[in-house]
Amino acid sequence: MEQLFAIDLEKISVASEQEKKDRKKNLQLFFETGLPNKKNEDWKFTDLNSIIKKNFKSVKNNYDFNFDKKIDIINEFEHNYILLVNGVYKSSDIKFEEDEKVKVQSLKSEDNLRNYSKNNLSNLNKALTLGGLDLEIQEDYKCKKPIVIYNYFTSNLDNKIINNSNKIKLNQNSELILIEYNVDHKSKYIKNTFENLEIKDNSVLKNIVIQKTKSNGYFYKSIFGSQGYNSSYQNFILTSGLKFNKVDLDMNLNEEKSNCFILSGLSLGKDEHQEIKTRINHLAPNCKSYQKIKNVLQENSNGIYQGKIFVKDIAQKTDAYQLSKALILENQAEFSAKPELEIYADDVKCSHGSTSGSIDDEAIHYLMTRGIKKKAARKLLINGFLNEILENISEEKIKSFLESRIGEQIDAI
């Protein structure tokens, strides 16, 4: 493993000798265990060790952030923005009536070295992280405009690994729409991200992640979150275009009447591999979770969904639902699903399901009889299949923007 990862810790500026020691310790822990592989149940469908060794001869840590490009701002809807370059916070344009209600800064070093995962990628992240985003919304604040996080990646990232950490907190009675917009070059690199979410009582976080361009990046993101009383978390994963992506989400519904929605619509092209793995922990009564994962798969692509619903014995009146659907367009494409229920309460409503199949030939024939060409008919059906994920988005301009981007992603496969 040390031969594959040519790491130079001396290039990382540290705040103290103790931080330097901690980074060295975590790097050594990573080398002792190595990358996750299929012997680990959580990685049985995504053998990261084999994937990285197959696609990278040597991986160096990244510490160069030269960036002089003008930001290509979204103009379809009004928003405020935060700029991250190679995962590190650079600047923001937060223009609210009450600026003190939104605090945004680079994550402090002591928080960089703290995350919640037992995954060995956590040790690598703590050893190499260079910063990230620390965003806090104060109580009783309702964001009138969404915040867009522009994730820009420089063009000098070939065979590099980016490690960053994010911390997002919504205090009581607050609301936020947060859109992560990834803008990439054609470099082949690894991005290893750990994110902590905290959603307090009566607060709502709507998080949308979408690609602007295709990417040769290999992305891993671990999200650990907690929710308070009557809180709501909605996560829309629209990351079509990534060469490789795995999202690992662990959400704790700690207080009554909290709800969690995980919704994903992906169109995967040739040789692309994406996995969504979730664990929703119902730890209090009267909570709801809803997961719907949809994949459209082209030649040699690989889509995976592992979803677990855990219900504690005191979590009566739980309402939990998960469903995965795949539209397989080529025989060489593959979709794997592993839904799980672990329930210790007896007054619950929990269900899961998974389906996969090809495009309905009769539906295509019907559209063709109405004067629509076969290729256009296929696109219409794929659009309809994926756009169902956007039904929970009530903001029309944002919804229209996302529909347009999904259409472009479908055209690209």
Indicate the Cα dihedral angle 122, 124, 128, 132, nearest 10°: -30
Task: Determine the pLDDT at residue 236.
Answer: 97
Q: What was the pLDDT predicted at 91?
A: 84
- Within 8 A by CB and 6+ apart from 413, the residues are 240, 267, 268, 269, 270, 296, 298
Find, among 71, 220, 193, 182, the residue nearest to 133 by Cα: 193
Radius of gyration for the alpha carbons in the chain, expressed in angstroms and rounded:
21
Query: What pTM does this model have?
Result: 0.94
Q: Give the Cα separation of 193 and 149 in Å (integer).
A: 15
Tokens of 209: 């992640």
Residue 94's pLDDT is: 66
Q: How far is CA 393 from CA 208, 390, 403, in A?
A: 10, 5, 11
User: H-type helices in 300-395, by residue range?
Assistant: 361-369, 374-387
What strands lie across the sheet with 232-238, from one edge to the other? 88-92, 80-85, 147-152, 175-183, 204-211, 232-238, 259-268, 288-297, 318-328, 348-357
User: Which segments in the chain show pLDDT lower than 50?
Assistant: 97
Rounded Cα distance, 240 and 413, in Å: 9
* pLDDT number for residue 222: 96
Distance CA 378, CA 387 (A): 14
